[in-house]
A = this chain, B = another copy of it.
């Protein structure tokens, strides 16, 4: 199996799997209990929090553990509405459903204004338009993802941050695709809120965290017990939290090598396709300078293209016809549909991890050629 769908989920690091196993075997106390088994579980969580906070240049108290990026996005958006009384949310049509559908859900029930910043046909946001819609807007949250999960475009964070500051807006970024892929200092980058999902960086599925700047007084979305300093109720998944911290530690330790290796895979694929299958183009940034682990192929409108993910699956190559969260339908994804409406074509997201090889790129291109030529 050639696994080229790492933007959907990544294989778990063997060391992480072992750690989860050992903790599940040995640490049975409820981390909210005061006795010795409880305190041992508490230490596991707090050490994980410290590790993650240090790797991302923030305070431990700014990291809140969740069941993943989706819950983290829900927490931030709902609490901005309910507790910070934000009435205006600015986002883009290319955001993840965890942001788009949550804002729609809030607006289905309550009176909020949602503005969508214009994007160009390469998937970049229109900074002047963002400046325009921020004007005269009281109490606004800007929610724009750091790297798009389908086409890989990167947000010009400094420019957006500057506009947010000029207009006294808060800045949330869905950083699910970039945490563990870049050396990032969330404080310096200027996010008020950011989120992560462990299974995007070789950690377990079903665990993640929010970064919540300590100046911002969010409240709990999931309420009940006082866990996570009263910011997220529910007994913690101590094993997966510790596994996530270890996965991030491993990712950050080898980040330069991984980036170089994966960038080479992406370049090789682009070069080979450009040379050998010129009818295939690319969605996203015109210089292909987005996230180094994602490339989105813009396929010719032929019968082969519609069935391509299934044909590749039969050949033992796993890729995505859309994002995992919107798969199951044959429609072009909301991201592709939001780019140039004149140019909607079948698409194929190819996304790499450090476990992929140049050999796999070559097999993939040969397989494409067998299907198309």
**A residues with CB within 8 A of B:** 1, 3, 5, 8-12, 14, 16-18, 20-21, 24-25, 28-30, 32-38, 66-71, 73-74, 82, 96-99, 101-102, 104-105, 109, 197, 199, 204-207, 220-227, 233-240, 309-310, 312-313, 316, 318-321, 324-328
Contacts and interface: CB of A to CB of B under 8 A. Distances in A.
A33 B8 contact: yes
A94 B359 CA distance: 62
A257 B210 CA distance: 44
A35 B319 contact: yes
> Chain copies in the assembly?
2
Given A33-B324, A74-B224, A74-B233, 17 more contacts: A1-B37, A3-B28, A5-B29, A5-B37, A8-B30, A21-B24, A24-B204, A32-B324, A33-B318, A35-B318, A35-B319, A36-B318, A96-B224, A98-B233, A206-B206, A226-B325, A237-B237
Contacts of A11: 28
B25 A17 contact: yes
A169 B14 CA distance: 50
6 contacts: A36-B316, A70-B234, A74-B222, A74-B224, A97-B225, A207-B237
Contacts of A104: 223
B38 A324 contact: yes
A20 B20 CA distance: 9
Contacts of A327: 32-34, 38
Nearest to A318: B35
B98 A237 contact: no
A94 to B, nearest CB: 15
A318 B41 CA distance: 14
A309 B234 contact: no
Contact of A223 (B10, B101, B318): B101
B33 A5 contact: yes
Contacts of A328: 32, 34, 226
Contacts of A309: 34-35
CB-based closest 10 A-B pairs: A206-B237, A225-B325, A98-B224, A70-B234, A67-B67, A9-B30, A35-B318, A11-B28, A8-B30, A21-B21
A254 to B, nearest CB: 19
Contacts of A207: 206, 237
Contacts of A37: 1, 3, 5, 318
Contacts of A197: 235
A67 B325 contact: no
Contacts of A29: 5, 8-9, 318
Contacts of A316: 36
